[in-house]
Structure 1
Amino acid sequence: MNVHFSAGVPVERAGLHHDVVRLTDLRRRFGRTAALDGVSLTVHKGEILGIIGRSGAGKSTLIRCLNGLERPDSGEVFIEGREISRLGERDLQPLRRRIGMIFQHFNLLSAKTVVQNVALPLKIAGIGKAERVRRAAELLDLVGLPEKAGSYPAQLSGGQKQRVGIARALAANPALLLSDEATSALDPETTRSILALLKDINRRFGLTILLITHEMEVIRSIADRVAVIDQGRIVEEGPVWSVFAEPKSEVTQRLLAGMRPQLPPEIAGRLSPEPVGEAVLRIDIFGDAARQALLSDLAGTLKVSFRLIHGGIETIQGEPVGTLFLMIPGGGEDVARVSQFLQARGARTEVLGHVAGDA
């Protein structure tokens, strides 16, 4: 199978721009509501960038500005080095063919077969039938559905429909693939398979992908970088492992709350600020700190008694990231010694409170 993603692309637009997307101070208002309030962002060639935010954060307006369906009030939108926000509809058409779209609800045409759906962008572009069919067959093979070419959307599962949607989005050799909540309507197992497919396409062909989502699990699974949007502003941005390890904004912390280890409820419900009983210490570790034998070193060096009550370490983008919860009996002096020891080795510590009696 020979699937290509650069054939026919003019030289000046094929590889001379490191940034496939560059947004500069993008602003868009609807009445008194600022849907976008000064967004500046880049999407680098060949990367997967995840943009995450809650409902109403500005994600939909942002993606519509990227594909030219929405015009910003001010600011600039560059796609492969060309500013598009002031282009007329006629000039936008060829640029839109450089952007593939996959949607939450698939947007397949029910009266057309799978192969016809995949070939539709090529038909619109004026490509001959034989070439359309050949290209669509290649793409259906790529997404694992060669046997479904003659089927209709109603005969497909949700995951199969989304694979057809991905094949269709790739038909015109896009420079950028926009994924708009593409897995939100799918069950967890199907979601994992679709994300694995997108990651494989990115890795094999170097295709740039921008994911719009409200799910941190999607970001963790395949994104290289993440940008958190809230009330029309980018409030945090960075490599996925770094943002997961040290979320700085309250919005990011809330989005991550369900994915990071939390103090067990039976202990959290008994926490008191009074220094009575055992202190509960939260330890956040990542990078080199997470590669060390911190707890055994702590026990051997300080001779302080403690209990590990909860936590764990996972690997994100090859970097260990973890949270541990310790209970330390005795006075504040031991807690201070433990905190100083761990902080000197790169960990972040926080005394959450104290628990009296057995916990």
Structure 2
Amino acid sequence: MNQHFSSTDLTLSPGFAAPSGDVVRIVDLKRRFGRTPAVDGVSLTVRKGEILGIIGRSGAGKSTLIRCLNGLERPDAGQIFVEGREITGLGERELQPLRRRIGMIFQHFNLLSAKTVEDNVALPLKIEGRPKAERLARAAELLDLVGLADKAKAYPASLSGGQKQRVGIARALAARPALLLSDEATSALDPETTRSILSLLKDINRKLGLTILLITHEMEVVRTIADRVAVLDAGRIIEEGAVWSVFADPQSEVTRSLLGGIRPQLPGEIAGRLARSGGEAILRVDIAGEAARLPLLQDLSAAIPGRYRLVHGGIDHIQGEPVGTLFLGVGIAAGRLAEAVEFLNARGARAEVLGHVTDDA
């Protein structure tokens, strides 16, 4: 099986420059619809072999950006380089070999109901004019790769949503693309199926060294699979970086809002009783990287004696880095509270006093 996916399988189509470190480079891209800027000066790179997540709310410009990237939408200004070749000025005929270098998987699968699973997977090769024996052999390899070797003769109507998406992934890989675009590919799936599809994509990324660009509105998808994340809002990239770093220290209000569902929040019962003074202080402490590996609470208690308890929160691991939010109940002299915050901040945490509660939280 492995011999079918050697590095020679990812050689470039004729007419394309050899890739450097970037499979895609976008420079100051703009696309308007009437007076509305859908993409407004986006510059972005997708590096060879990485998984990049582009996240944003509905209407942020994600779909327009991806349509510009695969040549379905013409930008008004800016440049797009795919494997070193600038594509915005290419005609339809010149775009055809480019599109074979870009595989697509979709939210609603886009399978042909009248064709078998193997015929759906082999369709891109049929369009290329490849011999039938070659098409079916490639389809068999890919169905094995996605765990559906026994479904080759089945029709899409008999498959579950997760199985349909696996067929869609196999089809996207048929022409041995350099880049896989995932457009909200897990949005129609339940959480368990979503996890299995993301695991499959990560496995394909490792086995084939395939570059993947994910378009999503779900931070959980980004956390599970991506190496880097770019946050899109009103057609602009407002934040970009390693996933663990952005999750640990979101710079924009939009990013903080998107993270709201998966970052620990102070329980409403406690938040509703916060006051400016009196009783136990409630501290929010955000930690990541080296700061999260230190015995911060032990050191804090030794430096500033008092009563410290964990009210809520915990530590997660993203890309192998610890990232967490802790809500602490602190009982110390009022005059030393600012000192405790300063102590935590000096050790790489981000601490703030949220308020006080007058009885046990």
TM over 0.5: yes
Q: Given the alignment of the two structures, is residue 356 of structure 1 paired with residue 342 of structure 2, yes or no?
A: no
SS at match of 2:238: strand
- Change in Cα spacing, 1:11 to 1:124, as seen in structure 2 (3 Å) is closer
Displacement after TM superposition at 1:3 (Å): 2.9
Q: What residue is the counterpart of 2:130 in the other structure?
A: 127
The separation in 1 between residues aligned to 2:33 and 2:280, in whole angstroms, is 53
Q: What residue is the counterpart of 2:340 in the other structure?
A: 338
The separation in 2 between residues aligned to 1:218 and 1:173, in whole angstroms, is 24
Q: In the TM superposition, what whole-angstrom CA distance separates every residue of 1:179-214 from its partner, at most 9, and x where no partner exists?
A: 000000011111000000000000111000000000
Q: Name structure 1 gaps, 5 residues minimum.
A: none
SS at match of 1:3: helix
Displacement after TM superposition at 1:221 (Å): 0.4
Q: What residue is the counterpart of 2:303 in the other structure?
A: 301
Please list, as runs of the form range in 1=range in 2, the aligned pairs for 1:109-258 lying within 5 A after superposition. Answer: 109-258=112-261
Q: How many residues end up aligned between the 2 structures?
A: 358
Amino acid at match of 2:318: I
Percent identity between the two aligned chains = 73
Q: What residue is the counterpart of 1:39 in the other structure?
A: 42
The separation in 1 between residues aligned to 2:343 and 2:95, in whole angstroms, is 59
Amino acid at match of 2:220: E
Q: Which of residues 264, 283, 286 is equivalent to 1:284?
A: 286
The separation in 2 between residues aligned to 1:328 and 1:334, in whole angstroms, is 11
The separation in 1 between residues aligned to 2:116 and 2:301, in whole angstroms, is 66
SS at match of 1:144: coil
Displacement after TM superposition at 1:331 (Å): 4.2
Displacement after TM superposition at 1:303 (Å): 1.1
Displacement after TM superposition at 1:13 (Å): 4.3
Q: In the TM superposition, what whole-angstrom CA distance separates every residue of 1:82-121 from its partner, at most 9, and x where no partner exists?
A: 1111111000001000000000000000000000000000
The separation in 2 between residues aligned to 1:53 and 1:314, in whole angstroms, is 23
Q: Given the alignment of the two structures, is residue 91 of structure 1 paired with residue 94 of structure 2, yes or no?
A: yes
SS at match of 2:328: strand
Q: What residue is the counterpart of 1:268 in the other structure?
A: 271
Amino acid at match of 2:296: L
- Change in Cα spacing, 1:225 to 1:289, as seen in structure 2 (3 Å) is same
SS at match of 1:166: helix
Contact 2:122 2:174 (C-alpha < 8 Å) held by counterparts:
yes
Displacement after TM superposition at 1:356 (Å): 2.2
The separation in 2 between residues aligned to 1:51 and 1:10, in whole angstroms, is 27
- Change in Cα spacing, 1:28 to 1:14, as seen in structure 2 (3 Å) is closer
SS at match of 2:307: coil
Q: What residue is the counterpart of 2:4 in the other structure?
A: 3
Amino acid at match of 2:53: G
Q: Given the alignment of the two structures, is residue 17 of structure 1 paired with residue 20 of structure 2, yes or no?
A: yes
Q: In the TM superposition, what whole-angstrom CA distance separates every residue of 1:261-302 from its partner, at most 9, and x where no partner exists?
A: 111111100112x22222211000011110011112212232
Q: Given the alignment of the two structures, is residue 59 of structure 1 paired with residue 62 of structure 2, yes or no?
A: yes
The separation in 1 between residues aligned to 2:14 and 2:92, in whole angstroms, is 24
Contact 1:19 1:42 (C-alpha < 8 Å) held by counterparts:
yes
Contact 1:6 1:14 (C-alpha < 8 Å) held by counterparts:
no
Contact 2:12 2:18 (C-alpha < 8 Å) held by counterparts:
no
Q: Name structure 2 gaps, 5 residues minimum.
A: none
The separation in 2 between residues aligned to 1:168 and 1:16, in whole angstroms, is 23
Note the aligned Cα RMSD (angstroms): 1.3
Q: In the TM superposition, what whole-angstrom CA distance separates every residue of 1:113-166 from its partner, at most 9, and x where no partner exists?
A: 000000000010111111001111000000000010000000111000000000
Contact 1:304 1:334 (C-alpha < 8 Å) held by counterparts:
no
TM-score (norm 1): 0.97
Amino acid at match of 1:210: L
Contact 1:311 1:325 (C-alpha < 8 Å) held by counterparts:
yes
